Structure 1
Amino acid sequence: MKEKNTRKNQAKILRLFRKVHRTTGAALFIFFFFISITGLLLGWKKHSGGILLSKSYQGTSTDLKDWLSVDSLHTLANAYLLKSVSPELSTEIDRIDIRKEKGMVKFVYANHLWGLQLDGATGKILNTERRYSDLIEHIHDGSILDNYIGTSNNQIKVFYTTVMGIALLVFTITGFWLWYGPKRMRRNN
């Protein structure tokens, strides 16, 4: 009798895990689809031949004493952006990447997907780029909605990554049990 109850309980747990796995998968299918596609693209961005991520160009000097000040480079970058791309664009900086070994500085802007690479020594433009990898990253982590809606502290991104992280954990646990549970039941039989 005890074995029969144990088997019934194991079957009941297995049905519950199958239902949780199926329901979670159906409810979050579209989100998992976007995360998987964008994750693949992000993994391949450096190997995309410049489509997703522009190559880093070489400046004229890797010696920082030959370089213009960051303030001067910033002023030049903003002037290039407004003149050569669009006078309507924001010049708010997201980050400045100094690549000493390349003799180059990257300016990445906060409110659009444009970026500029300048020669650190001369201030000449090396490359103007659309940063598609940043767009893919924003879709991947949900921050695209924060940017679109204008939330102040990435609340949507935090909520989204929390839900998706918990869902992945639930999938891992229930998926493992859906694989292991029947093996265990057969072994106990």
Structure 2
Amino acid sequence: MTKPNQRIKQARILRIFRKIHRITGAALFIFFFIVSITALLLGWKKHSNGILMPETYVGTSTDLKQWLPLDSLHTKAIAVLHDSVAPDLSPIIDRIDVRKEKGAVKFIFKDHFWGIQLDGATGKVLHIDKRYSDLIENVHDGSILDWYFNTSNGQIKVIYSSIMGIALLIFTITGFWLWYGPKKMRKSKSRSQ
């Protein structure tokens, strides 16, 4: 292949990559904006002084032998949720976070973003919090739509994550070529002269 034909081919590839980069960016702009803002917030959640992610409070004992049974703590957490937050909130638990080293147990509820922290040994309420970090995480990975539409198996999250992952891969490849392609063309032009 002659040098001018090679440069024409490189220029054509560069135009194709530029078009793919531009179309992908325009089509997914709002999603990239959301992902970038939520990623920043998630990166800072532990350094937000309890605003985004509640601090873990300290209970009275780290010795599990002195702790109340988990089912008793669970019952207590649901009672606190209904008495202190709202009586009509769902009691379904998403996860139980046992912090032995802090003497605390966190009950995080599935159908809303409330969390209850209890002393593992006494069952005393250590903290009641709205878990904004969980909400932000759900927005970040698209699972907020699964929660909102009550899908059975996280299908929206899988589709959303796949689209965003493929788009980021396309952006990386096309962005690299938009940077490297002109350099390569200049080198081949200088060699041919």
TM-score, length basis structure 2 = 0.97
In the aligned structure 1, how far is the partner of 2:77 from the partner of 2:46? Answer: 24
In the aligned structure 1, how far is the partner of 2:180 from the partner of 2:20? Answer: 16
User: 2:30 matched to which residue of 1?
Assistant: 30
* C-alpha displacement of 1:58: 0.3
In the aligned structure 2, how far is the partner of 1:142 from the partner of 1:112? Answer: 16
Q: Superposed, which structure 2 residues align to 1:36-115 within 5 Å?
A: 36-115=36-115
User: 2:122 matched to which residue of 1?
Assistant: 122
Q: Superposed, which structure 2 residues align to 1:125-164 within 5 Å?
A: 125-164=125-164
Runs of 4 or more off by more than 6 Å in structure 1? none
In the aligned structure 2, how far is the partner of 1:169 from the partner of 1:117? Answer: 40
In the aligned structure 2, how far is the partner of 1:22 from the partner of 1:77? Answer: 51
Residue type at the aligned position of 1:154? G
TM-score, length basis structure 1 = 0.99
User: 1:18 matched to which residue of 2?
Assistant: 18
Residue type at the aligned position of 1:63? D
User: 2:3 matched to which residue of 1?
Assistant: 3
Residue type at the aligned position of 1:55? E
In the aligned structure 2, how far is the partner of 1:137 from the partner of 1:54? Answer: 14
Name stretches of at least 5 consecutive residues in structure 1 with no aligned partner.
Answer: none
Name stretches of at least 5 consecutive residues in structure 2 with no aligned partner.
Answer: none
* C-alpha displacement of 1:159: 0.1
In the aligned structure 1, how far is the partner of 2:3 from the partner of 2:121? Answer: 79
Secondary structure of 1:58's partner?
coil
Q: Give the RMSD, CA atoms, in angstroms.
A: 0.6
Residue type at the aligned position of 1:57? Y
User: 2:184 matched to which residue of 1?
Assistant: 184
The count of aligned residue pairs is 189
Residue type at the aligned position of 2:187? R
* C-alpha displacement of 1:85: 0.5
Residue type at the aligned position of 2:137? E
In the aligned structure 2, how far is the partner of 1:146 from the partner of 1:78? Answer: 24
